[in-house]
Amino acid sequence: MTNLTPLTEIADEGAPRAEATAPTAPAKAPRRSGARSLLPRWSPRLAIGLGLVGAISLFGLIGPFLVGDPNAISNIGLAGPSGEHLLGTTQTGQDVLAQLAHATRGSLQIGLLVGVLATALSALFGIIGGYVGGFVDELFSLLSNVMLVIPGLPLVIVISGFVPAAQRGWWTIALVLAITGWAASARVLRAQTLSLRNRDYVAAARVAGERPWRVVSVEILPNLLPVLASQFVFAVIAAILSEAGLSFLGLGASNSSTLGTMLYFAQNGFALQREAWWWFAPPGLLIALFGCGLSLINFSIDEIINPRLRTATAAKRSARKTTRSTAA
Amino acid sequence: MRYYARKIGFYLVALWAALTLNFLIPRLMPGNPVDILMAKLQQRGGVVDPEARRSYELLLGANTDEPLLSQYFSYLGNMARGDLGVSVSAFPAPVSDVIWQSLPWTIVLVGIATLISFVLGVVLGALVGWRRGTWLDSLVPATTVLSAVPYFWLALILAAIFASALRWFPLLGGYDVSLMPGWNWEFISSAVYYGTLPALTIVISSVGGWLLGMRNMMVSTSSDDYILTAQAKGLREGRIMTRYAARNAVLPSVAGFAISLGFVVSGSIVTEQVFSYPGIGSKLLQAVQNNDYALMQGIFLVITVAVLGANMIVDLLYGVIDPRTRVGN
């Protein structure tokens, strides 16, 4: 949902500062060979993050084949975890673990779809606006600023409320979430593009008569990759959280099964009042762990963008490493 | 002065955009909400005169012969008069009355909760950022986990533990229903008691964002030259941290505060649903479930206007706090 936004927002407000520090990054980059400079440094955080995300993705990918039918109804309703049902059963005796595997797949699907769409939209409005400048920039940044101040979730709820349930498919929900979720990233991308377009090598490319699309895609875009990656990661978390919220309210895609719909059925089946924790705790925990894993990955990406964020020890370690590599 | 004119101009444009969105959404979506509404209205014993039908058509759009542009201007006229139509689910109350009843609940709950989490996050973040590299750093991953937890799931867990299992707090509602709402001690204390759990949910899930933002800014400022100067002057550590570093590091958080006001209102929609809190969020959901389109749109508009207003006030104040922003733009 939106509890992540203060973060992106602050990163955004810090953009002028990042601009000031950014020039140090390319100066350092040549010491690490080419594409490697775009990869995050290895750290326990990154390892834990990748581990969490990998494990949950595998569970969503492979899990549905290993578990039984998530909708099979049996006569042992609301039973706690046991050997037969590892995570217990729902009110109507459906296996919670089986539902969890299918729901995880559903949530990952929509998260990825929205992540791609929202990142594409923010790149379109942020980079093009920042690069072209003038009227286009004014218009695009006005648009993203307006989208930023119009509260997203109420808008999403109203739109979903108007679409008849039968017509509310994956794509409808994904589009609505992407349209309400691109603005903050576009602002950051615009600020970064503005600082990049005035660098000497971009000016040189322009003077040399390169076409604008080539300058943007070859000279500017590669330098924005870490920012784009970090925003994609955030967009995926935000999408999974918003979709879960929407489904929890009963406004998600029809015939879908995501972690949010599981929580919706748990709430409607009075899982809370009956203290059936095995029903409503696992879906939320999975969302939290997945989001946490992605945030940890994001920290590592952020350290590429803003070298000042590297912790003191890591900075010392890398300094030692660079002196060693230059000595060798 | 130009700075303020620009800001106010921007918020006017944003307001216009929100109004236009509100006008376009029902017209772009499939289905015919007016017919559903009129049928519902008749069920409830409402009089379906052409007058009422026309006002709903302006609000929601239908296949009328009237050109879109003139519908649009009549709609703007209605909005300017504060005429949001009649609520179907709370028939015959006008939409504006329903909103006025539930708005104070949300404003007080969300306002207090956001303020607490902002102050807590900024103070902790300043401390963590200043004492970088000590055990306090372990707070950062902990808050990451918290900020990835879905709001409503946290609400479910808290409700399960503190309301269902321990029975320390009530599970549902905004106040003890045996009391009459009013400005007396009994009622207010009951409202506080019922509001604690939802407020706790909001604080816990949003404090991490503030903490992290403040910490990162603290880390950035603490390597600035004026901090070094202050340290060389031999000023007390506590003074350097609060007067020199934190004071400059807090500015982006202040700007974020305004924007978060809007997002916390929207996040609390789901939280309110979990606790059946009598705020604007659960009203919005009731409206959606009952196909009460007029109420839905009215609530969306009110939330948007509140968010825009809060943003504008903080934006204007920000120009006073940090003069650099006025020059920069």
Question: B113 is written with which tokens?
Answer: 């909760």
Same domain, residue pair B24 and B58? yes
Which one has a higher pLDDT value, B28 or B117?
A: B117
Q: Do B141 and A45 touch (CB under 8 A)?
A: yes
Same domain, residue pair B112 and B206? yes
Same domain, residue pair B237 and B125? yes
Same domain, residue pair B174 and B27? no
Looking at residue A323, what is its pLDDT?
Answer: 46
A161 and chain B in contact, CB less than 8 A: yes
Highest mean pLDDT among A120-129, A206-215, B184-193: A120-129
Q: Which candidate from A16, A162, A273 shows the least CB-CB separation from B29?
A: A162
Which residues of chain A does B147 touch, with a Cβ-Cβ cutoff of 8 Å? 3-4, 7, 291, 295
Percentage of the residues of chain A whose pLDDT score is greater than 70: 79
A245 and chain B in contact, CB less than 8 A: yes
pLDDT in tens, A57-72: 998 888 888 877 777 7
Same domain, residue pair B40 and B120? no
Residue B215 belongs to a domain = yes
Q: Which residue of A has its CA nearest to B18?
A: A150
Residues in chain A, overall count: 328
Number of structural domains (chain B) is: 2
Supply the mean pLDDT for chain A: 77
Looking at residue B252, what is its pLDDT?
Answer: 80
Residue B90 belongs to a domain = no
B289 and chain A in contact, CB less than 8 A: yes
User: For residues B212 and B201, what is the distance between their CA atoms, to the nearest angstrom?
Assistant: 18
Residue B307 belongs to a domain = yes
A170 and chain B in contact, CB less than 8 A: no
Same domain, residue pair B35 and B169? no
User: For residues B257 and B277, what is the distance between their CA atoms, to the nearest angstrom?
Assistant: 24
Looking at residue A77, what is its pLDDT?
Answer: 67
If one counts every other C-beta atom within 10 angstroms of the C-beta of residue A146, the result is 20
Looking at residue A198, what is its pLDDT?
Answer: 82
pLDDT in tens, A14-49: 333 333 344 444 444 444 556 666 666 777 778 888
Nearest residue to A173 (alpha-carbon basis) of A256, A294, A99, A61: A256
pLDDT level of residue A310 (50, 70, 90 thresholds): low
The residue-averaged pLDDT of A149-163 equals: 84
Same domain, residue pair B21 and B58? yes
Q: Which residue of A has its CA nearest to B154?
A: A284
Residue B27 belongs to a domain = yes
Same domain, residue pair B136 and B54? no
Residue B45 belongs to a domain = yes
pLDDT of A10 strictly over 50: no
pLDDT level of residue A113 (50, 70, 90 thresholds): very high
pLDDT of B34 strictly over 90: no
Same domain, residue pair B165 and B208? yes
A173 and chain B in contact, CB less than 8 A: no
Same domain, residue pair B71 and B186? no
A63 and chain B in contact, CB less than 8 A: no
pLDDT in tens, B163-176: 877 878 887 777 77
Q: Which residue of B has its CA nearest to A291?
A: B148
Residue B318 belongs to a domain = no
Q: From residue A25, how far is each of A186, A304, A307, A312, B222 by CA, in Å? A: 22, 8, 7, 17, 19
Residue B262 belongs to a domain = yes
Same domain, residue pair B102 and B15? no
Residue B87 belongs to a domain = no
Range of the domain at B141: 95-311
| Domains, chain A, with CATH or none | 58-74+86-304 (1.10.3720.10)
Q: Which candidate from B13, B26, B288 shows the least CB-CB separation from A142?
A: B13
- Domain containing B200 — which CATH number? 1.10.3720.10
pLDDT level of residue A112 (50, 70, 90 thresholds): very high
